[in-house]
Amino acid sequence: ARTVMTYTARKCGICFQPPSIVLIYKEDSKDKIRQRIMPVRNFSKFSDCSMAAEQLKNNARHKAYLERVSLRQLRKLYSLLKGHLGGESLAESLEKFQQEETIDPEEDMNKLDDKELAKRKRIMDELFEKNRKKKDDPDFIYDIEVDFPQDEQLESCGWDMESDEEI
C-alpha cells in the first residue's frame, strides 16, 4: 500500500529560459525543502493562460504538488511568461496582469461578450471570497443590527418617481 504524500507549497515562480514553473515545497512527512521544475511545453504568446494553468494543475504528474497553489497564481505566472514571449518587460507584464485582474466600476458590463463577462464575474467572486467575513475570523459578529437615522431627509431618485407611475 502506497502512502499518500502531502506537500506544502512555499514559493511558486517562473523561469523564462527554459520556460518552466518552479515550485519550492516542503514534504510534510519529512522536514526537507525541495524544488520541482515543471517544464512549460506548447505555450506561445497566443496561448490561453487560464487553460494552461488548469491543465498544469490537473496534470497527473504535478497535481499533488500544486494542490495548495491557487489557480490565480498559476494564471499570473503564465501571463508573465506570455508577456515575456511577446517581448514585454517583467514590469509591463505585471502591470498588464494587474489591470486585467481589477474591475473598473464605470465599465458597462452589458456590452461585454460572454468570455469577458465570465472573467469579470470570476474576479468579483474571488474578491468577494477574499473580503468575506467567515465564522473563524476574530472580528466576526453574528447578526449585526444597525439603526439608521430617522431624522435625516430621505433623498429621492428620478427612477423612483418613474416606477410609481407604472404601478
Is 152 inside a domain boundary?
no
| pLDDT for residue 25 is more than 90 | yes
The end-to-end CA distance of the chain, in Å, is 70
Question: Is 71 a member of any domain?
Answer: yes
pLDDT in tens, 88-122: 999 998 888 888 878 888 888 888 899 888 888 88
Number of domains composing the chain: 1
Q: 83 is in which domain, residue-wise?
A: 7-101
Q: Taking the model in full, what pTM does it have?
A: 0.67
State how far the alpha carbon of 141 is from the alpha carbons of 91, 118, 135, 148, 149, in Å: 41, 32, 8, 19, 22
- Tell me whether residue 39 is in a domain: yes
The answer to whether residue 147 sits within a structural domain is no
Answer whether residue 22 is part of any domain. Answer: yes
pLDDT tens digits, one per residue of 126-155: 888 888 888 888 888 888 888 877 776 666
The answer to the question of residue 95 being in a domain is yes
